[in-house]
Amino acid sequence: MPTAPPSPAPAAPQSATPLSQRRPPRPRLWITLAGVTALVVVVLVVVLAVGAGSPTVAALPPIYPNRVGPETMFTAGSVATDSTATLKQLAALGVNRVHVYMHWADIAPEATSRTRPPFDATDPAAYPASGWAPYDQVVRALAAIHVGVDLDLVPPPPTWAQGKGAPHPRSQPEWKPSAAEFGQFVRAVGVRYSGHYIPPGQTRPLPRVTFWSIWNEPNLGIELAPEAIDDHQVEVSPRYYRALVDAAWQAFAATGHGHDTILIGEIAPAGGTQPGAEPGNFNAMPPLRYLRALYCVNSSYQPLRGTAASVRGCPPTAAGSARFAAANPGLFHASGVADHPYPQGLPPDKVTPDEPDFTELAAVGKLEHVLDQMQRVYGSRTNFPIWSTEFGYQTTPPDPEAGTVTPTKAAYYLNWAEYLTWLDPRLKSYDQYLLVDPPGGYFASGLETSAGVPKAGYYAFAMPLYLPVTATASGHPLDVWGGVRPAPDAARRTHKPQSAAIQYRAGTSGSFRTVRRVPITNRHGYFELRQTFPGSGEVRLAWAPPGGPEQFSRTVDITLS
């Protein structure tokens, strides 16, 4: 990990190609930097007067020193970039799990043919070995360095597994994919990564995979189409996704993975609502609208009936609704729902204005409530945990899109976002999407530039630091939340306890000095405490990895009056 400290970040506010590299562009959805108060409960600064003319003391939010917090997930990009060196770098950063996209068409034989080849699609040996090879390498490499994997089975399907009638069959193979064929593919994957399978010509079994996701961003037409028909009014993509989940669920159960962690959803956080940008074939559908259609309920969270149900592939009668949960066990017994809660350039506590069906980070509380409501419709008491499996801030330079922020602001927002994630016990992961910015600058959410130079977000990721309140009266404490992400693994490897130093300096120049040393005992490296500082100045974290030079977090300005 680079050791040079980042540029100071802004103080917390006082209120508070080859198929394997395929990543379709995301639609940009009317991003604005104006926001409204988040639905997520975030305690902002409340200043209480303690007497006429006397200093003010900030009301501090409650602290949770014993909270474990989310695990760290990392989405490095395509499997082609997930080299052993990259995976070791992620392990050194303290990543708990890597989210890996397994593209169906990368594995399938004769993937671009319109005619299905004759082969047993449930047998992993019937697929070309070259298709499996990069995924086998990643799974073995992660097991060797004790990092978990979330194997996400994603589009595109092979051309021979798509439905008929696609407007652009060569460029949009996600058209009405066959759930039956997908189920056979998932069976092959389940057998291969059962922990017992020895590939032909090899001598030892592949590691077992126990953590899975089903599809990617099905509410985007570029991932699953068509999204909607009848002048955008009838959601049809959810019925295809429902069938894909059902097929995958059965395949996992049949191959000994029925008790694994299996995530559904993998939803994009936004969708088209304005004229000309409605879902249609290949645009995007707002995720809560998508989930309502997936669970066959209307906007009032009542079961769909009659034609409104039938055209969405839902049971049209009360008797059918009574059987819906049993007929779709994946929708009710999955391990959780995966969300990609990108704030799209907004501060992490702000929702997109006038878009009640979006699921960016600040709206995750609403997502949880909606999921609970839909479970109750069918008599289920399930409260799905939420897994963040893609997250980040695009930075400019180099990204030219709207909704980007500077690298320094991105570092600040990332730490703030992780704090909000940590506050919500139903959020089980904090994800970073991309290690390295793609060439050309599009979707530059990486921790490093395309040339491999660390951005400010690199240091913010390794050692998150956030103070929910940054101004108070002299002699009064401030909350310090943060962590040293690599410390737990360092403790495991060396059998030596690890600690972080909270450092302070007066003003903005001169030397930092340690005001407190914090033992890192949390298994994800987090801590939260209250600390009194000598005066106004700057605060940072420092940590010395075993055998390496001291490393630093971003800095936070504090004001004491």
Cα 268 to Cα 285: distance, rounded to the nearest angstrom: 9
Name the more confident of 167 and 346: 346
Residue 258 has a pLDDT of 97
Q: Could you tell me the pLDDT band of residue 30, with boundaries at 50, 70 and 90?
A: very low
Task: Return the ∠ at Cα 327 (arms to 322 and 332), rounded to 5°.
Answer: 85
Q: Is residue 472 part of a domain?
A: no
364: nearest Cα among 430, 316, 311, 312: 430
> What are the residues whose beta carbons fall under 8 Å from the beta carbon of 356, sequence distance 6 or more?
288, 366
Identify the three-state secondary structure at position 324: helix
In a domain, 185, yes or no: yes
Instruction: Report the distance separating Cα 194 and Cα 186, nearest Å.
Output: 12
**pLDDT given at position 58:** 82
Beta strands in 372-497 (DSSP E): 386-388, 427-433, 465-466, 471-472, 478-483
Helix axis angle, 237-254 to 179-192, nearest 10°: 30
Mention every residue, 6+ apart, whose C-beta is less than 8 A from residue 253: none
Cα distance between residue 535 and residue 504, in whole Å? 9
549 band by pLDDT with thresholds 50, 70 and 90:
very high
Is 441 a member of any domain?
A: yes
Sequence length of the chain is 561
> Is pLDDT at 9 greater than 90 in this prediction?
no
In DSSP terms, 448 is beta-bridged to: 436, 454
Task: List Cβ neighbours of 103 (8 Å cut-off, separation of 6 or more).
Answer: 19, 20, 22, 79, 154, 155, 156
Examine residue 18 and state whether it is found in any structural domain, yes or no: no
Q: Residue 314: which pLDDT band, with cuts at 50, 70 and 90?
A: very high
Under 8 Å between Cβ of 267 and 287: yes
Looking at the chain, the whole-number percentage of residues with pLDDT higher than 90 is 84
Number of domains, the chain: 1
User: If you average pLDDT over residues 67-74, what whole number do you get?
Assistant: 97
Find which of 34-43, 75-84, 448-457 is predicted with most confidence, using mean pLDDT.
448-457
Predicted confidence (pLDDT) per residue in 150-180, tens digit: 999 999 999 999 999 888 766 777 999 999 9
CATH number, position 153 = 3.20.20.80
Residue 52 pLDDT greater than 60, yes or no: no
Residue 153 CB-density burial (10 A; 0-12 exposed, 13-18 middle, 19+ buried): buried
- Residue 239 to residue 256: CA distance in whole angstroms: 26
pLDDT of residue 80: 65
Closest CA to 392 of 361, 365, 420: 361
Q: Is residue 226 in some structural domain?
A: yes
Q: How confident is the model at residue 141 (pLDDT cuts 50, 70, 90)?
A: very high
Residue 77 has what pLDDT?
82
Gyration radius (Cα) of the chain, Å = 24
Q: Helices H, strands E: what count in the chain?
A: 14, 23
Q: Which of 173, 383, 353, 373 is nearest to 270 (CA)?
A: 353
Q: How close are the terminal C-alpha atoms of the chain, in Å?
A: 37
- Within-domain flag for 479: no
> How confident is the prediction for the chain on average, in pLDDT?
90
Closest CA to 145 of 489, 511, 491: 489
Q: What's the pLDDT at 171?
A: 72
The H or E element containing residue 367 is helix 364-377
Q: Which amino acid is residue 152, in one-letter code? A: D
pTM above 0.95, yes or no: no
Range of the domain at 309: 71-462
DSSP label of 345: T
pLDDT in tens, 388-444: 999 999 999 999 988 899 999 999 999 999 999 999 999 999 999 999 999 988 999
> In this model, does residue 49 exceed pLDDT 80?
no
pLDDT at 204: 97
Q: Is residue 343 one of the residues assigned to a domain?
A: yes
Residue 437 tokens read as 């910015």
Percent of the chain whose pLDDT exceeds 70: 89
CA distance 175 to 173: 5
Structural domain contains residue 353:
yes
**pLDDT of res. 169:** 62
pLDDT of 54 reads 57
pLDDT tens for residues 115-136? 999 999 999 999 999 999 999 9
Least confident of 172-176, 469-473, 510-514, 522-526: 172-176
Q: Are 139 and 207 in contact (CB under 8 A)?
A: yes
- Strands 465-466 and 97-103 turn out to be unpaired
Q: What is the pLDDT of residue 465?
A: 98
